[in-house]
Amino acid sequence: MRHEKIHLQQQLELGILPFHLLYLLCYTINRLRRMPHNTAYRQIIFEQEAYDFDTTPGYLHFRKPYAWWKYRESIFG
Ligand SMILES: [Zn+2]
């Protein structure tokens, strides 16, 4: 539940279409790096934030905008 709310917040700050494009781009890059499907999915920049904090109480209240950007090394690294 909190997991999906984190994704909702990510979509609100980025826009629905850019969110989905970047989501797909991350997955594609990960697959090109020969990650198996599950790893490629979990390493998507938005999934990393969502999985890291989906059990953190009150996360959406103290979360900073564009918090997923700190995982960018998973794209550029
Ligand atoms: Zn997710």
Residue 75 confidence (pLDDT): 83
Residue 77 confidence (pLDDT): 72
pTM of the model: 0.93
Residue 3 confidence (pLDDT): 97
Instruction: Determine contact, residues 5/53, Cβ cutoff 8 Å.
Output: no
Q: How far is the CA of 26 from the centre of ligand 1 (A)?
A: 13
* Chunked mean pLDDT (size 10), the chain, 77 residues: 96 97 96 97 97 96 96 86
Q: How far is the CA of 11 from the centre of ligand 1 (A)?
A: 12
**From residue 40, how far is each of 20, 37, 53, 57, 58 by CA, in Å?**
15, 5, 19, 27, 28
Dist CA 58 CA 18 (whole Å): 26
Q: How far is the CA of 56 from the centre of ligand 1 (A)?
A: 15
Q: How far is the CA of 4 from the centre of ligand 1 (A)?
A: 6
Residue 76 confidence (pLDDT): 83
